[in-house]
Amino acid sequence: MPVDLRGVRVLVTGASSGVGEATARHFAGRGARVALLARRSAELAQVVAGIGDDAAGITVDVTRSEDVKAAVADAAAFLGGIDVAVNAAGVADFALLDDLDDSTWHRTIETNLSGTFYVSRAVGLLMRDSGAGSIVNVASDLASFGVAGLAHYSAAKAGVVGLTRALAIELAPDVRVNVVCPGPIDTPMLRSGLEAEADPQQALSDKQASVPLHRLAQADEIARAIAFLAVDGTFATGTALAFDGGTSAM
């Protein structure tokens, strides 16, 4: 049976869809109060409505440092403090080097890496002052190996792993900081990328075949891994958990 998390106060970014949404729903389903942060207000409102009174939605662009500080303060006010923070906000746009323009590079780095830093800094300092807390970042298996067309994404996610390890040392012993590195996940972000292919169904089959388990992860599977690191993995900090169906073993 899942551990009852009533009284636990959780902040989740990227919570309007995909892993962020699944994580917010997972924690709420176990009794936690949840502050959901995302850029898309309409989608965010729908998720919050589905969770109920123990959730609040806060619209924020994580690439804006000052806005993140305000959003974290609002989340802490709603929750009465923050025990767990999950950085799941991210973007991934396929672009080979010939087409990888500065705008795409900066958007990818700013959202995936800088956004994770801005939230972790604001939350981590609050947690340190309160004497306890747990941060879980979401990176990727592509933090460990390269794929043509995703140099910008791999760089950002590798940065998230390095950031996690450094923050784990700086915020110890009061705050634990860990990162989960998923393989391909069946999310709207991945599906939109597949739909851009000439043959989306073949692209899906190829993607599944590239995973030793021959399937994509479901977002709720990643949410459970995040919850383990956040709550149950009490001796883990600075840990990068590969949760990728075997892709990093190849």
Beta bridge partners of 172: none
Angstrom CA distances, 67 to 39, 56, 135, 160, 174, stand at: 11, 17, 19, 20, 26
Which residue from 103, 111, 130, 173 is spatially nearest to 9, judged by alpha carbons?
Answer: 130
Q: What is the CA radius of gyration of the chain?
A: 17
Known catalytic residue at 118: no
Residue 238 CB contacts under 8 Å (≥ 6 apart), including other chains: 164, 165, 168, 169, 177, 178
- Listed in order, strand segments (DSSP E) in 195-247 are 240-243
Active-site pick, 27, 117, 118, 153: 153
Give catalytic residues, as residue numbers: 153
